Chains A and B, each alone.
Chain A
Amino acid sequence: MRGEWHTRDVRGLLDALARGEVTPAGLVEHFLERIAEHDPALNCFVTRTADEARTRASRPLAGALAGIPLAHKDIFCTAGVRTTCASRMLSDFVPPYDATVVRRLDEAGAIVLGKTNMDEFAMGSSNETSVFGPVRNPWDLERVPGGSSGGSAAAVAAGLVPAASGTDTGGSVRQPAAFCGLSGLKPTYGRLSRYGMIAFASSLDQAGFLARTAEDLARLLVVTAGADARDATSSPEAVVDYPAALEAPIRGRTIGVVKEFRDAGLDPRVARLVDEALAVLERSGARLVDVSLPRLGLAVPIYYILAPAECSANLARYDGVRYGHRARDVASLEELYARSRGEGFGPEVKRRIMIGTYVLSHGYYDAYYLKAERARALLQKDFLRVLAEVDLLAGPTTPTVAFRIGEKNDDPLTMYLNDIYTNAVNLAGLPALSIPMGFVDGLPAGLQLIGAPFAEAPLLSVAHRYQQATEWHRARPPRFA
């Protein structure tokens, strides 16, 4: 008889393991079967680690997540397991070290089933820039799962793993969570170590998780959060017992409804779902307050100066010398550089390196980079001012539900504008999550909640309360039920 373990969330699986209804080995086999059966249609996995997972499941495991199968976005370095960033540049790269997030989940007893597909070097919002081809949305195979953590999102949505890691530089956890009907958390900048997480834009990158519920996110966060001596930007801020804080009352919390989130680009059907979700929160006892972030409109331009600038330097290390792709038959060092990089990177990565190089180059630095840094500081100040008055901010995660594969490939700008509600949060370094809030034409839409720095606990708690009052997070794509 085939188990239904893939319909459970992490909490449900931990209960089943604790009661002895299933063993870690049983779970591993079940999810490996799910992957074997469904991944060919979805293209979520870049690398599977079935043998390692079976070996690990056969040994005693301890920790808060003992026996829980997981997948990692292929941007996290895994010792001895190929880590590609979905790029030709790193298609054969086998790191000799684990990312801190990977290590901490190992220490919590989780079992990794494989590495998931993504946009190349996390640059993209649709998972179409991967060298391994696009990932498909389990709710509609003709649509994108979102990006850049598209493989992780589709894998969790389709029940191939109960939870997965992702990274979020401008919305790369929240947007795919919204498109795939999942809960997705991007913690405060510095809450999780970036060590071993391949950099896209260092001042914006933050690890995060995709799961079914806010409660699961709390369980993943509590075992991974905390300072790391290998990341000088990781925060010494004390780690809260997030799962224990979930049941805090929602009554008395104030939620800021951001006026600028309701702009011209927002699909009215998504807007209606936001209103309904806000009404649910209000009925649960939260107080809604209208707030304004007048400079929010600058977020995408700021983002598309700073993120490419940082990426242009971060990706300079891929030069075909110490690791990664090297072009064949090169006569000179200069040719080695230009051709290895020209061949190793895909168009979106090249585009961003070019923009970044431009805005940092002589004569443009002040006009672009410096101005963007200043605007960023002002935007951050705006957020902190508003968050001093309310506990959380709420709005849509994305302007629309999942779009069709290929739909936005002609113009990079339309793709960039898809992240209009998420970019600003990374610029301000704040914690945020996306939770399912309903459907538009059978496709899930996400509610974004944004918190004050290091206020993950109230953020998760409000999301948890919402999920106690709604059923959206329990919906499953019919094809993968």
Chain B
Amino acid sequence: MSLSDEDVRRMARLARLALDDGEVTRFGDELGRILAFVDALRVAVLEEAPAALCGPWARTPFLRDDRVEEAGHPELYQTQAPESRDGYYLVPRVIEP
């Protein structure tokens, strides 16, 4: 079982990953085999489970008090940015609808 090139490209597009043709073929094959493997679960008959837990220990999560304790520091944080100016992050212009 192998995933079609079309499926692979659709996933790559959703995940914003540029793949070359070789990668598309290879991933199609590998992903197909991995999905076939996890199909063991897909076909497994499961009894009704408690509501799926999102973390292993469901409890009341910690809620923060509404206080301002932090600020932005563009001059520091933007040292990590590939492109910034006047406190803004920059990207190639997005063509708006």
Task: Show the binding face of A for B, using Cβ within 8 Å.
Answer: 93-94, 96, 188-190, 203, 227, 229, 232-236, 297-298, 300-302, 304-305, 312, 316, 319-326, 330-339, 341-343, 345, 347, 350-351, 353-355, 357-358, 361, 367-368, 370-378, 380-381, 411-413, 416, 427-430, 453
Contact = CB atoms under 8 A, between A and B. Distances in A.
A381 B50 contact: yes
B12 A298 contact: no
B41 A375 contact: yes
Interface in B1-53: 3, 7-8, 11-12, 14-19, 23, 27, 30-31, 33-35, 37-42, 44, 46-47, 49-53
24 contacts: A189-B55, A190-B55, A233-B55, A234-B62, A298-B41, A301-B40, A322-B81, A323-B81, A323-B82, A325-B82, A326-B83, A338-B16, A343-B18, A351-B31, A355-B31, A358-B7, A358-B11, A361-B14, A371-B42, A371-B44, A372-B38, A374-B46, A376-B53, A429-B55
Contact of B54 (A203, A302, A358): A203
B8 A354 contact: yes
Given A301-B38, A342-B19, A354-B15, A189 B57 contact: yes
Given A338-B17, A342-B18, A372 B41 contact: yes
A358 B32 CA distance: 11
B73 to A, nearest CB: 8
Q: Which 9 A-B pairs have the closest CB atoms?
A: A429-B56, A342-B18, A373-B52, A326-B82, A323-B80, A338-B18, A337-B16, A301-B41, A374-B49
A341 B49 CA distance: 37
Contacts of A326: 82-83
A477 to B, nearest CB: 34
Interface in B39-90: 39-42, 44, 46-47, 49-57, 61-62, 64, 73, 76-77, 79-83, 89
A351 B80 contact: no
Chief secondary structure at chain A's binding surface: helix
Contacts, number: 172
A375 B53 CA distance: 10
Contacts of B8: 354
B41 A333 contact: no
A233 B61 contact: yes
A339 B20 CA distance: 11
B76 A96 contact: yes
A375 B52 CA distance: 8
Nearest to B78: A322
Nearest to A352: B34
Contacts of B11: 354, 357-358, 361
Nearest to A356: B15
Given A94-B79, A203-B56, A375-B46, A229 B14 contact: no
Contacts of B37: 300-301, 304, 413, 416
Contacts of A322: 77, 80-81, 89
A350 B41 contact: no
Given A301-B37, A333-B92, A96 B61 contact: no
Nearest to B33: A413
Nearest to B14: A357
Nearest to B12: A354
A456 to B, nearest CB: 14
A354 B42 CA distance: 18
A277 to B, nearest CB: 27
Contacts of A376: 52-53
A333 B91 CA distance: 7
A412 B3 CA distance: 15
A430 to B, nearest CB: 8
Contact of B53 (A325, A355, A377): A377
A378 B49 contact: yes
Contacts of B77: 96, 322
A373 B92 contact: no
A423 to B, nearest CB: 12
Given A234-B62, A321-B81, A350-B27, A190 B57 contact: yes
Contacts of A374: 46, 49, 52
A104 to B, nearest CB: 18
Nearest to B76: A96
Contacts of B50: 377, 381
Contact of A341 (B17, B39, B44, B81): B17
Given A94-B80, A358-B7, A375-B46, 8 more contacts: A96-B80, A190-B57, A297-B40, A342-B19, A351-B34, A354-B17, A368-B42, A416-B37
